[in-house]
Amino acid sequence: MHSKYFYDERGDYIFQQIMEMEEYYLTKAEMDILSKQSGEISTVLMETASPFDLIELGAGDATKSVHLLKELLSRKADFRYLPIDISAHVISDLEEQLPAKLPGLNIIGLNGDYLDMLQEAAETADRRKVILFMGANIGNMSPAEARQFCMDLKAHMSKDDILIIGFDLKKEPKQILAAYDDANGITSAFNMNLLHRINSELDGEFNLNNFEHYASYDPESGACKSYLISLKDQVVKIGDSASISFTKNEHIFMEISQKYALNEITQLASSTGFMLHRNFFDQHEYFVDSIWKVG
């Protein structure tokens, strides 16, 4: 399932709660990187003197990137900020709120699919591009999809362009699993929201009590996967003409959150036409924002 379906208004709200959970270390780790190392990241971005477009894929509320934007503004970098998000209200909120927070910021929001909007951004300007793809969003693709996505990004990039990409690293399996199997059932609610959406938007008849959230982490492949498990034999009607039957314990695959080892990140960069330039880690080395250049 494409992960964009998780993020309707309710999904956005539940994901906010996930990010605040004790067990969900990812956001805090990446915040640690951006809040402490935006100076050094800016130095890398400004090594080439020419103006650039800072294009953020899946900007959300930009709480992490604000640190980088502030730093670039204070260094008088000649750049425009182009956040791209699939959600129209995310983009309008950013356009409304960021200029007040960051006086002097030149912001042009783009609402739509990452690659379509990237294409649009590339067509309207011939400046060099710095693409931000943070938040371990790449983890919500299978390794094969991630490879294809990096190749697609590369196809939209030219010499001197930079990609900053966030990965959650392989670590203690129990810590990873806990982040996706929290005691308060918030991750469960995040997944159940998909069934709720099918009920309300497609006239489905899922009984949410007949499904249970199940998360697993495989330390060998680095795949953390979540499922909804059918608690009984059941037939679920969707609209007038469709129905799905589930046997007891049958699973619905919901989401992958792939974890990476450093050598796998280097390998992903080189096999998709990039050169890994530098890695920025949080204090615990849970997470990495990796700077790739076009090779």
Q: What does the binding site for ligand AVI look like in residue numbers (CB under 6 A)?
A: 18, 26, 135-137, 139-140, 180, 187, 190, 255, 257
Residue nearest to ligand AVI (CB): 257
Nearest approach in angstroms of CB 180 to ligand AVI is 6
- Cβ proximity to ligand AVI, 26 vs 288, nearer residue: 26
Residues 6+ apart with CB under 8 A from 77: 42, 45, 46, 52
In whole angstroms, how close is the CB of 139 to ligand AVI at the nearest point?
Answer: 5
Helix axes 186-202, 9-20, angle to 10 degrees: 180
Q: Which residue's CB is nearer to ligand AVI, number 18 or number 268? A: 18
Residue type at 95? Answer: E
CA distance 48 to 293: 12
Smaller CB separation from ligand AVI, 26 or 41 = 26
Contacts of 159 (CB under 8 A, 6+ apart): 294
- Which residue, 83 or 135, is less far from ligand AVI as judged by CB? 135
Q: What is the DSSP string of 271-292?
A: HTTEEEEEEEE-TTSSEEEEEE
Alpha-carbon gap, residue 252 to 137, rounded angstroms: 21
Residue 74 parent element (H or E): helix 65-74
Cβ at position 76, least distance to ligand AVI in Å:
33
Give the three-class secondary structure for 215.
strand
User: Least distance in Å: CB of 115 to ligand AVI?
Assistant: 18
Smallest gap from Cβ 172 to ligand AVI, in A, equals: 16
* Residue 126 Cβ vs ligand AVI, minimum distance, rounded to whole Å: 32
Output 139 or 204, the one with its CB closest to ligand AVI. Answer: 139
First to last CA, the chain: 32
Nearer to ligand AVI, 7 or 246 (CB): 7
